[in-house]
Copies of this chain bind each other. A is one copy, B any other.
Amino acid sequence: MVSETYTVTGMTCGHCAASVREEIEEIPGVQNVEVTVESGRVEVTSETPLDREVLARAITEAGYQLV
């Protein structure tokens, strides 16, 4: 299991956090996603390291941006 922390910009509320979490949870292999709106921190636990492009696309899909 791998746990990595990323920064996502543009989230302003709990709904934003939920959108990001839901999109990332759809990536195959993802086990857990923790989002902190205030800091923009997103911690993703997955079976194997995530492809950053795939993660970035999921976050863009939710309407936010991976930095």
Binding site for B on A (CB under 8 A): 12-13, 15-16, 18-19
Q: Which of B12, B18, B19 contacts A12 (CB 8 A)?
A: B12
Identical chains in the assembly:
2
Give chain A's interface secondary structure class: helix
Give the residues in chain B near A16, CB-CB below 8 Å. 13, 15
- Residues of B within 8 Å of A13, CB to CB, are 12-13, 15-16
Contacts of A15 in B (CB 8 A): 13, 15-16, 18-19
In the A-B complex, the 9 residue pairs with the smallest Cβ-Cβ separation, listed nearest first, are: A15-B15, A12-B12, A12-B13, A13-B13, A13-B16, A15-B16, A13-B15, A15-B19, A15-B18
